[in-house]
Amino acid sequence: MKLLIAVPTYNEIENIEPFIKLVFVHIPSWAEILVIDDNSPDGTADAVERLAEQYPGRLHLLKRSGKQGLALAYLAAFEWGISRNFDVFLEMDADFSHNPGYIPEMLEKIQSCDVVVGSRNIKGGKVEGFSLIRNLISKGGSLYSRLVLGCPVKDLTGGFNMWRKSALEKIGLTTIISRGYSFQIEMKYKAFLAGCAMTEIPIVFSDRKKGKSKMSRKIMLEAFVNVWKMKGASGRDTGMDQFVKFAVTGGLGTITNLVVFFLCADLSGLPEIPVSVGCFLIAVTQNYIINHRWSFKTQTAGTGLSIKRWCIYTAGSLLGLAVNIIIMKLVLLNWELQYKFIAQACGIAAGMVVNYILSKYAVFRKRENR
Ligand code: GDD
Ligand code: MN
């Protein structure tokens, strides 16, 4: 096995020498380090060149013409390493935030998976020294991207990750659209989509003591937007998307129900009960069609509308209504509420969950061999 540790640097003169020396203490003799420097004005590259004499053949420098962002630095490093037959790659910051003491454990884990993620957001992992606001941004960013992308990795934004060459090849590095830190999210999301086996190990991330973070508002904004681009490019719906679309469809159904009711009962003077039943059927039919064509499109692709499935959907809606009424009644019986509509809201929520589950797993279930 050949390991390449890729370390991007921009103005890390205060950290780079002691950092590299410390990393060499923790890694096996068959591991090498590549520093990718974007022509740091503070002379980081020169320091690396000087130090390289002490580690012949094991410390390399890739100089780039100017600050081009984290993503291009890493992509250049991967390309550099792949062409030199490295089979495992480790991403690492140069500012001591990533403790090289974790490398042996990561190497052990990579034997049985494709990607090892150093994770601050699982049990045993944490962040030290972040201000409250930076912590919020980091945690919020992770949660936001996880929810939008529907990706189970707990630390999507982290930058201490180990990759097998085969995982990098599966991802398709030329498809990466990120230029800033959203690169970390995109790599992990694409690895997840490509079916890579991913393992998270807990790490303690300590904020840098020296030098400055290169995080900027521009980088955050890019990440915020890119998450949606990645999602769009994947053509994949998450459970969250389906639920939101399902809820919107239900809302539209309610509007149709009320409009038809107004037209028939108020304007035309027809009797309310048959009108109400008719409205229910019209709304259910509309919901069935929109859910089939839109909310659960990724599951129903290639199948048509069917009377049988409409019947199941309608039965499901009636069941949802029954649950709605039962829960509403139970809430009223057990709590003394100032307003009854609160109980009705609980009923609606419960009925909706029942409907959603039936829709997802019964009515619009993905069918094999089509
Ligand atoms: N070559 C190059 N070019 N290196 C860069 C650039 C660039 O444009 N921008 C940053 N770096 C280097 C820094 O010199 C450092 O070694 C590393 O990338 C991380 O940069 P920091 O500025 O220290 O990042 P951070 O501490 O704010 O962010 C950390 O957390 C992020 C969010 O969790 C890192 O772990 C990121 O990888 C992570 O995405
Ligand atoms: Mn840092």
pLDDT digits over 79-100, tens only? 999 999 999 999 999 999 999 9
Note the pLDDT tens digit of each residue in 180-215: 999 999 999 999 999 999 999 999 999 999 999 999
Q: Is 28 in the same domain as 151?
A: yes
Q: Is 180 in the same domain as 294?
A: no
Q: Let me know if residue 83 belongs to a domain.
A: yes
Atom 25 (ligand 1): residue with closest C-alpha?
213
User: Distance from the CA of 57 to the center of ligand 1, in angstroms?
Assistant: 26
Q: Is 209 in the same domain as 249?
A: no
Q: Is 99 in the same domain as 130?
A: yes
C-alpha to C-alpha distance for 181 and 197, rounded to whole angstroms: 23
- Which ligand has the nearest atom to the CA of 219? 1
Number of domains in the chain: 2
Q: Let me know if residue 29 belongs to a domain.
A: yes
Q: Is 230 in the same domain as 250?
A: no
User: Distance from the CA of 109 to the center of ligand 2, in angstroms?
Assistant: 24
Q: Is 58 in the same domain as 199?
A: yes
Note the pLDDT tens digit of each residue in 284-333: 999 999 999 999 998 998 899 999 999 999 999 999 999 999 999 999 99
Q: Is 36 in the same domain as 67?
A: yes
Q: Is 247 in the same domain as 229?
A: no
Q: Is 29 in the same domain as 171?
A: yes
Atom 19 (ligand 1): residue with closest C-alpha?
93
User: Distance from the CA of 213 to the center of ligand 1, in angstroms?
Assistant: 7
User: Distance from the CA of 217 to the center of ligand 1, in angstroms?
Assistant: 14
Considering the chain, what is the average pLDDT of its residues? 95
Q: Is the CB of 214 under 6 A from ligand 1?
A: yes
Q: Is 289 in the same domain as 222?
A: no
Domain that holds residue 70: 3-234
Q: Let me know if residue 182 belongs to a domain.
A: yes
Q: Please give the backbone phi and psi of residue 161, each rounded to the nearest 5 degrees, phi first.
A: -135, 145
The strand pair at 3-9 and 31-37 is best described as parallel
Residue where a domain stops, chosen among 176, 207, 234: 234
Alpha helices, DSSP H, located in the chain? 16-26, 44-52, 70-83, 103-110, 132-149, 165-171, 182-193, 217-234, 239-261, 272-290, 297-300, 307-334, 340-358
Q: Is 229 in the same domain as 245?
A: no
Quick one: pLDDT at residue 358? 96
Q: Is 171 in the same domain as 309?
A: no
Note the pLDDT tens digit of each residue in 125-149: 999 999 999 899 888 999 999 999 9
Q: Is the CB of 75 under 6 A from ligand 1?
A: no
Name the residue of 96, 127, 215, 224 whose CB sits within 8 Å of the most ligand 1 atoms, as the mutation to test its pocket.
215
Quick one: pLDDT at residue 370? 46
Atom 7 (ligand 1): residue with closest C-alpha?
69
